């Protein structure tokens, strides 16, 4: 194992006070980078995910270019439904499309809890290659979608503002919904265990659509399953839960034993801290659209964010993925400002 | 003036304890009703808005059919940008489209603060006719979009999950954004004054996209302008502010002097009450997707909602508009359960 030269994010996740705030950006390996767009022209989406050399190149692109403190595996949350047996198409600019979504108990017979080493080995191969190529520069974040968020796509069959069909499925057929959620959970735990075995230094679970649920339904259909994931893996590597919009459950998410909680820009640092308590790492929460502002505005707003979080138990990040039309120097201004303005003198 | 036979919602908004909780549904005059779909086949969207007889018929359809305690004017928030001089197309199932959106200070010269009695008289004519046809059965709710939400459409030019272009416009050209917001506010105040003069008994301001902003940007780009609206009109009729997703500003919205605050299902009654305080009416907050559940589930969940709000200072409603695919008897089950199960015995 190569020793990590920069383990800032891991030390923060252990609860340590560090010399400055670590920073990375959700979707940092992605469409705002010209060198990514070159590869996108040449290879299909799943080709990029499934070819370890391509996934490695894309994962590493932002490390030196933007100077982030962690790499995050280039992949997609929908590789899991795909490995479970559902066809997933990813059409650029149109989003995901699952031509034969789950709509009934009978449909569960079309999917399985697969052997992840058979169906998702390409991810583990990519992680091994990324770790080698990173050569200890920064830690590598592995990830998966939350069971609830994957159910949304597996039932609705495509992206949606409100995922009404997925919610209706849960409200009309709760028993089938829970069977599906458990199958996804079992697959995800094996998948994330495989990522750790391959070399992932920490994990993030993306619950992109948790914030569409009421507090009580979030417990029933989302948190219950994320809790299993943290219980299975949280003693092996730090796990960050990011449930976009689910500010109302920060206290319960903390109680899972997660090492960190991601928050979006709609919950202020102060409110997030008051909900989650002092003894947990918060990750976030810059408005991604604000990276379209002029650089001096970005710098001022990043400083305000850093002040609001207070310099400790904080991983700087956006509150959602970076937008494709953000200029590269704006992304770098975000990262540079965190690095320059979060130095702790105590 | 015809005396109102059912003034339950108005008494609740005055702070009175009432014999039961009043109930209406956002988008109650709309696509889930077969009799609405018949008119939709025959007339274009703006034809329905602009023909007082049609707007009246549609507004009144749910009153006896569903038994709600208030009528809400059938119209659209985008009649205001249209009256200000922007072309607005409403394509069924595709949503709004504004072919020439606002992108710069120069574009403000293409719009005006119009004489609403010239450009929006058809709304006032509709309100007069609706009041006559209602004959005092229930109060009539007038409405407008919030300035921020109208800016979203006027700049982005169409619906969006995140309205990044509208937000980028505000972050890049704040001075122009504020000039536009003030023009919309001035138009909206005159428009809502006209609605009151025509007979609207109360008003709701829909800030559908307030919840896309951070707490501080919500103050800057949304609340500042809604405050002007409440200040201008709140002493004439009760005003309800509904800023979807903006749970974080309930305390500040209350401080505007609004008579009621709409909330969505993602903020629990208990949390909303703790943010907003005891002495304000809360309106909401049933998950619209839950009306797709079987009727016994709807009944149980409505009872849970009523218990959570405690029976006073509450107007039962959905947390967003009713979905087009909700069966009529499910909508009626929602309303009936509120009426039967919210009777106060103290």
Q: How many angstroms separate the CA atoms of A265 and B292, rounded?
A: 31
Strand, coil or helix: what is B160?
A: coil
Instruction: Write out the DSSP string of A21-80.
Output: --B--TT-SSTTSHHHHHHHHHS-HHHHHH-HHHHHHHHHHHHHHH--S-EE----TTHH
**Chain A residues closer than 8 Å to B167 by CB:** 287, 289-290, 292
- The top-level CATH class assigned to B8-255 is alpha beta
Q: At what angle do helices A121-134 and A52-66 cross, to 10 degrees?
A: 40
Strand, coil or helix: what is A149?
A: helix
Q: Select from B171, B215, B290 the Cβ nearest to the Cβ of A293.
A: B171
pLDDT at A326 over 80: yes
CATH 3.20.20.210 fits A8-341, yes or no: yes
Q: How many angstroms separate the CA atoms of B203 and B70, rounded?
A: 11
Among A214, A308, A324, A330, the residue to mutate for chain B (most B Cβ within 10 A): A214
Among A148, A161, A171, A273, the residue to mutate for chain B (most B Cβ within 10 A): A171
> pLDDT of A308-323, one tens digit each?
999 999 999 999 999 9
Report the residue of chain B nearest A268, measured CA to CA.
Answer: B215
- Cross-chain residue pair B215–A271, CB shorter than 8 Å: yes
pLDDT along chain B (346 residues), means of 10: 92 97 97 96 94 97 96 97 96 88 98 98 98 98 98 97 96 98 98 98 98 98 98 98 98 98 98 96 98 98 97 97 97 98 79
pLDDT band at A94 (very low <50, low <70, confident <90, very high): confident
Count of beta carbons in the 10 Å neighbourhood of residue A201: 22
Count of beta carbons in the 10 Å neighbourhood of residue B161: 10
DSSP code at position B137: S
- Cross-chain residue pair B266–A211, CB shorter than 8 Å: yes
Q: Report yes or no: A214 and B287 within 8 Å, Cβ to Cβ.
A: yes
pLDDT band at A346 (very low <50, low <70, confident <90, very high): low
Mean pLDDT of A282-288: 98
A256 or B90, which is more confident?
A: A256
Q: Report yes or no: A90 and A42 within 8 Å, Cβ to Cβ.
A: no
Query: Residue B206's closest CA among B283, B265, B134, B117?
Result: B283
Strand, coil or helix: what is B135?
A: coil
Predicted pLDDT at A1: 63
pLDDT at A208 over 70: yes
- Cross-chain residue pair B214–A287, CB shorter than 8 Å: yes
Alpha carbon of B60: minimum distance to chain A alpha carbons (Å): 27
Q: Select from B161, B172, B266 the Cβ nearest to the Cβ of A214.
A: B266
Active site residue B48: no
Among B32, B171, B263, the residue to mutate for chain A (most A Cβ within 10 A): B171
**Measured over all CA atoms, what is the biggest interatomic distance in chain B, rounded to whole angstroms?**
61
Alpha carbon of B184: minimum distance to chain A alpha carbons (Å): 23
Q: Is B292 on the interface with A (CB under 8 A)?
A: yes
Domain boundaries, chain A: 8-341
User: Mean pLDDT, chain A, as a whole number?
Assistant: 96
Q: Is B265 on the interface with A (CB under 8 A)?
A: yes
Active site residue B76: yes
Active site residue B225: no
pTM over cut 0.90: yes
pLDDT at A345 over 80: no
Q: How many angstroms separate the CA atoms of B58 and A256, rounded?
A: 49
Q: Which member of B36, B153, B191, B225 is catalytic?
A: B153
Q: Report yes or no: A147 and A73 within 8 Å, Cβ to Cβ.
A: no
- Cross-chain residue pair B172–A294, CB shorter than 8 Å: yes
pLDDT at A93 over 80: no
A104's CB contacts (< 8 A; 6+ apart) are A173, A176
Q: Report yes or no: B37 and B324 within 8 Å, Cβ to Cβ.
A: no
Count of beta carbons in the 10 Å neighbourhood of residue B311: 17
Predicted pLDDT at A92: 73
Report the residue of chain B nearest A164, measured CA to CA.
Answer: B289
């Amino acid at each position: 194992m190569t020793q990590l030269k920069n383990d800032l994010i891991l030390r923060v996740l252990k609860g340590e006070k560090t010399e400055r705030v670590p920073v990375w950006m959700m979707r940092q390996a992605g469409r705002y980078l010209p060198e990514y767009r070159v590869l996108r022209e040449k290879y299909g989406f799943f080709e990029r995910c499934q070819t370890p050399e391509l996934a490695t190149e894309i994962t590493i692109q932002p490390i030196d270019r933007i100077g982030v403190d962690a790499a995050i595996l280039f992949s997609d949350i929908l590789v899991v439904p795909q490995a479970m047996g559902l066809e997933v198409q990813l059409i650029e600019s149109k989003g995901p499309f699952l031509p034969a979504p789950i709509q009934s108990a009978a449909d569960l017979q079309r999917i399985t809890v697969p052997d992840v080493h058979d169906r998702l080995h390409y991810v583990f191969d990519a992680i091994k290659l990324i770790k080698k190529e990173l050569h200890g520069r920064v830690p590598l974040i592995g990830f998966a979608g939350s069971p609830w968020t994957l159910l949304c796509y597996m039932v609705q069959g495509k992206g949606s503002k409100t995922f009404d069909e997925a919610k209706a499925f849960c409200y009309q057929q709760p028993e089938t919904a829970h069977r599906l959620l458990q199958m996804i959970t079992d697959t995800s735990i094996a998948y994330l265990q495989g990522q750790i075995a391959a070399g992932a230094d920490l994990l993030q679970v993306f619950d992109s659509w948790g914030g569409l649920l009421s507090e009580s339904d979030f417990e029933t259909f989302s948190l219950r399953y994320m809790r299993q994931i943290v219980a299975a893996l949280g003693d092996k590597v730090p796990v960050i839960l990011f449930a976009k919009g689910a500010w109302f459950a920060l206290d319960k998410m903390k109680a899972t034993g997660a090492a960190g909680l991601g928050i979006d820009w709609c919950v202020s640092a102060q409110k997030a801290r008051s909900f989650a308590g002092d003894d947990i790492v918060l990750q976030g929460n810059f408005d991604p659209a604000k990276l379209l502002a002029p650089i001096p505005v970005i710098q001022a707003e990043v400083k305000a964010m850093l002040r609001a979080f207070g310099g400790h138990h904080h991983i700087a990040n956006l509150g959602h993925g970076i937008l494709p039309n953000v200029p590269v120097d704006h992304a770098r201004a975000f990262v540079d400002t965190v690095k320059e303005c979060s130095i702790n003198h105590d």
